[in-house]
Chain A
Amino acid sequence: MAGTIGGRTVSSTYAPVRGWLLLPSWAVIGVFLLLPMLLMLVYSFLTKEFRGGVIWEFSLAAYDQFIFDRGLFGDEAPSIEWTYITIFVRSIVQALLATVLCLLIGFPTAYYVATRPARTRALWLFLITIPYWVNLLIRTVSMKFLIRDNGPFNEALLGLGLIDAPFQLVNTNLAVQLGLFYSYLPFMVLPIYASMERYNASLSEAAADLYATRWQILRRVIIPVIKPGIVAGCILVFVPSLGAFLAPDLLGGAKTFMIGSLIEEQFKGNAGNWPFGAAASMILLSMVLVVLMLYARSQAKEL
């Protein structure tokens, strides 16, 4: 990922016009993203209007609803509300699992590709990036088609005599998992590859000269050196998985809410509770920020 390159003198050829150069990006992102975010923050502290909308009166009701269970009728003594926490925890677990799965497959792939000779390397990389360019919706739909009860995957297993009855995959958490993994796998491979490509192979040679085994080299030398790439890959998979919408909706049968569908439901579906949707968005956003700050910290320590 981009950033200033440490150790080199910073060029300042364009310093006098810097403000003008940065202005368009500040203005566009500031007005059309930062401002909407601030508006959401404000909305999360407002009173909900019945059936969608907000009333401009300060209220903590949205956060209260998220945290406290006051019974079905709102008059019992508050206890912890597990409904939304469960939804968040499930989403986090799903995203983590997807990240781990992507890492397990993505790391060896990136390593293998990066160690190919230049000519074939480009071809391998080309093969891996192609699916990344294919529309995510189409990829998810393809996956759904493949794994449905009487789809090609089950037909093949039945045909081979490996199973007797179709293996039900669609509408399960496993399918969502598979979908997330499949959607974001290239996000894991590319940053690791980029780090790996810059890895100096003589480090491995040196370690081997000191009688390190292959796995010791991997663990003690390669992984520490390309860690930024691995961390970047994990973030690029984890963050979009957390708010994913298509995979749970198409592959999971929309039966259980994930964070994404919970938020959507507040603005587009039955619930129509804008402040609550805004509060859930803010909570999701702060979780992402925590992850990013941890990342920034770990990067700063490296330097």
Chain B
Amino acid sequence: MAAGGTGSAKSFNFKVVLLGEGAVGKTSVVLRYVENKFNEKHISTLQASFLTKKLNIGGKRVNLAIWDTAGQERFHALGPIYYRDSNGAILVYDITDEDSFQKVKNWVKELRKMLGNDIALCIAGNKIDLEKERHVPVADAESYAASVGAKHFHTTAKLNKGIEEMFLDLSKRMIERQSEDTHKSTTTSRSNRTKTVTIVDDEPEQPSGGGCCGSS
């Protein structure tokens, strides 16, 4: 399959992987983000393994494909299958569970080793509604994130805080990376031999201003 379609001047398609130990609330975070209160079909769906979200940032359209990654220990070896070709990663830990933060560190190490700096990272300290039970100090988490080139966010899916900001920041950074990579092919191939057919829009752009059809 082709790895193409990452974007054009006005639209971007990004793959974001979601990583984190069970029970840290990663599913709740992403469901909260993609929920579409206007779409009944969307509300009734119960799968959280593949979700999408459309954004419009400064006139550029961004399609996020959010891939949930099998995070249980027994599936650990499957990680690379999931995060291949991803543009961004959200690593979620539970602020009341120090071990879940350690797991995030392991994931970061692995992602950096396998994908280098090609991937934008966000670390989410989730469940800040349980601040009293915090076991991961804020300073530790933030300094760790900075040390690995990631952004740290304080989130709570329960109260819907910090989540939109996190995805916006990740999207901004993925757009920046994509723009930096414009010298490379926009359809970087998995196998370095993918071809795409380019088309030229020969519909002349109309000048901005009043319409040509007159008022109704």
- Are A and B genuine complex partners? no
Chain A residues near B (Cβ < 8 Å): none
